[in-house]
Structure 1
Amino acid sequence: MSINVHSHAFAGNPLLSKFSFSGHPLPPSAALEALNARIGLPNTHSYPSLSFKVLPFRNGRPLASSEASSGDSPPIWHLGWLGLDDLRVIFDNSGAQLSVDSLVYLNSSAEDDAVYWAIDVSAEVIELGSKTGLRFVELRTLMVATDWSDLQAMGNLAIAGHAKALLEWHNVSRFCGHCGEKTVPMEAGRRKQCPNGSCKKRIYPRVDPVVIMLVIDRENDRALLAKRPMRLHRLYTCLSGFTEPGESLEEAVRRETWEETRVEVGEVVYHSSQPWPVGPSGIPCQLMVGFFAYAKSLEITVDKKELEGALTSLMLSGTVEKK
């Protein structure tokens, strides 16, 4: 059996790979200086040729717009990038104050001399006014609606995922875990610093690995799928779970499969990985690591606390047929 996946959701972020500013990404310190100069703070170096693009989020949802597509295809989504001047006008009209520290630097692009930022407006009463067609959309909705063969659309999805992860990390790291002091953003939001002189802890986003596995019955060419509570009706997916401290990824695959279905797994084979910024908000920076897992036992006993049900499916020419 051979399974090929050409695209991963939230992977291939163009701002982290091929885009650059004059051959190199604009360092966070320079990006922050350019932002301060544009907002009007004194004694800062200006970058007059740069444009600023900001992606607002509300409760983990990016601003986006859609346009009708031809035929029966779903709508085409676009991220709702705002210019810095537009963002300032929206804040002023809403009686809110735009703070430099609330903006998180994503990266820069040489292709359009643009500096990209994200901002969380969940705590602000922001009215978009004349910005018709824009609304805050669940990231999973954008993932499902995106044409995965469109590289530009997939790149935008990856940018939105990266921005969401950084903003949610800021929300859950407001205080130093060592002394309890309120943290301050540094390096244009790329890290945080404890201001306590006796502590001074540097805090960076931490990536938490999540394993996801296609459990396979080799002899009968079947795969094990499961349905989780509170998900879409009749939606069955691969098993998945978090790694425990002191546990390898392969051990996590075997443990999670056993705990949820009482199926024993032997050989575990790595497939690929992808960012996963749509998991629990308390764990914002997740890396999903995919595996093939080969079953040693075939009897299924579902853990009802974790799953609503499980089934085995025939694997036929790369498709899945329920059995």
Structure 2
Amino acid sequence: MSTMSINLKSPVFAGNPIRSKTPKPSDPFSPSSAFQTLKLLLSGQTHAQDQFQVLPFRKGRPLAGSTGGLTKKWHLGWLSFGDFKGVLEGSEVKLSDDLLVYLGYKVKEQEETSVVYWAIDVSEDASLVDKLGSKEFCFVELRTLMVATDWADDAAMGELAIAGHARALLEWHNTSRFCGSCGEMLIPAEAGRRKQCIKDSCKKRLYPRVDPVVIMLVIDKNNDRALLGKQSRFVPRMWSCLAGFLEPGESLEEAVRRETFEETGIKVGEVVYHSSQPWPVGPSSMPCQLMIGFFAYATSLDINVDKSELEDAKWHSREDVKNALTFAEYEKAQKTSADKVDQMCKGVKKGQSLASDFNVESGELAPMFVPGPFAIAHHLIASWVHQVSSNSRL
């Protein structure tokens, strides 16, 4: 078995290559400037369509395609502005400037041009599935693309980060429709980067927010063990770190201690920060979470599982956890998901739901396994197993 630690340049869903860096309003590709050009495009007063690329989403799923060949690789289904307008002809989706959400821009130095990227939700019209299917595109669950991504491929990791950012923004728009202060409607502003109440006496501004989640590997230093939990939704033999939401008025360290005690009855003393990861693949009610990873050192050892929170929790030796880090299984999962994306885009299995593809890892090579390299839990566990620590306290 291979037990290598997989180190990524940045966590999955981070490292967005087109994420805007708050450009000045005078910048021709700032959100405000790009939005003005967009309105001119929609009114037919300009024809600079090549500068705009659009990524459609349907029910939280981005449009994707596949390169095919022996090694299947997915890619986002970017459409030029002109092609996108053509696809919408005769559909129920009426293109307007309040539907498109600004994602960012990239300077193509070799071509001496810049491209602005937008996202749009086209869930209203199911007929677009067939139209885009004829171009060998399909709408794919973001979790499926996450598993199908070759984490050694920088370009693919960048596209996954873009798709995650776009999904989080679009889901936020879908769930933030009314003002929490007065109940009036909210309308998009600043190219979809915020929303504002339409009532003149209110004008409340609303910006996208993330839900912080603490995720922790609880460690028994004296016995060289780690505490892992199992939820009922997990596939058989999969174990992972404990996690929970931050409560108002609570520090991150307090949240780690509270969640660990509530779920397992284990008391925690020292809490050490490890890393963080954006997580835009949760439910639409929480369109983007920020996973904040910690090592937590236990001061008690007797487990008392809260069955309403976890199915089970156990102490696992370093050697057992090392055996669970089976690289071949994650590689198999990646290739299997990439093949299924390719089949979907080519119409082999039309209408197939790939919501379960996230669970493609079977754990056949070990009695237990842990989440793949796309999850911060994997890197917490791998860091402890291989003692990848600058302070050598693991």
Task: Give the one of 120, 128, 131 matched to 1:129.
Answer: 131
Does residue 14 of structure 1 match 2:11?
Answer: no
SS for the counterpart of 2:223 is: coil
More helix by share: 2
SS for the counterpart of 1:110 is: strand
Cα distance change, pair 122–318 in 1 and its aligned pair in 2 (3 A): same
SS for the counterpart of 2:257 is: helix
Tell me the distance in 1 between the aligned counterparts of 2:120 and 2:175. 15
SS for the counterpart of 1:90 is: helix
1:96: how far off?
3.1
Contact residue 10 and residue 276 of structure 1 kept, 8 A? yes
Tell me the distance in 2 between the aligned counterparts of 1:163 and 1:136. 14
Which amino acid in 2 is paired with 1:218? K
Which amino acid in 2 is paired with 1:62? P
1:132: how far off?
3.2
Tell me the distance in 1 between the aligned counterparts of 2:22 and 2:199. 37
Tell me the distance in 2 between the aligned counterparts of 1:34 and 1:229. 50
Q: Deviations over 1:251-277 (max 9, x none)?
A: 111111111111111111000111111
Tell me the distance in 2 between the aligned counterparts of 1:116 and 1:224. 43
Matches for 1:151-190 after TM superposition, within 5 Å: 151-190=154-193
Which amino acid in 2 is paired with 1:184? I
**What is the match of residue 120 of structure 1?**
121
**What is the match of residue 51 of structure 1?**
51
Gaps of 5+ in 1: none
Q: Deviations over 1:209-238 (max 9, x none)?
A: 111111111122221111212233322111
Give the TM-score taking structure 1 as reference length: 0.89
Does residue 79 of structure 1 match 2:76?
Answer: yes
Contact residue 313 and residue 320 of structure 1 kept, 8 A? no
Task: Give the one of 124, 144, 147 matched to 2:147.
Answer: 144
Q: Deviations over 1:40-77 (max 9, x none)?
A: 255xxx4737521111111111111224464xx6x321
Contact residue 25 and residue 109 of structure 1 kept, 8 A? no
Tell me the distance in 2 between the aligned counterparts of 1:301 and 1:317. 22
Cα distance change, pair 110–38 in 1 and its aligned pair in 2 (3 A): same
Task: Give the one of 107, 112, 128 matched to 1:110.
Answer: 107
Tell me the distance in 1 between the aligned counterparts of 2:186 and 2:21. 32
SS for the counterpart of 1:129 is: helix
Contact residue 42 and residue 96 of structure 2 kept, 8 A? no
Tell me the distance in 1 between the aligned counterparts of 2:149 and 2:55. 18
Tell me the distance in 2 between the aligned counterparts of 1:56 and 1:212. 32
Matches for 1:24-39 after TM superposition, within 5 Å: 26-39=29-42
Q: Alignment RMSD, CA only? A: 2.6
Does residue 307 of structure 1 match 2:310?
Answer: yes
1:94: how far off?
2.3
Q: Deviations over 1:297-319 (max 9, x none)?
A: 12222221121222322224983
Give the TM-score taking structure 2 as reference length: 0.74
Which amino acid in 1 is paired with 2:83? D
SS for the counterpart of 1:26 is: coil
Gaps of 5+ in 2: 325-366, 369-394
Cα distance change, pair 153–90 in 1 and its aligned pair in 2 (3 A): same
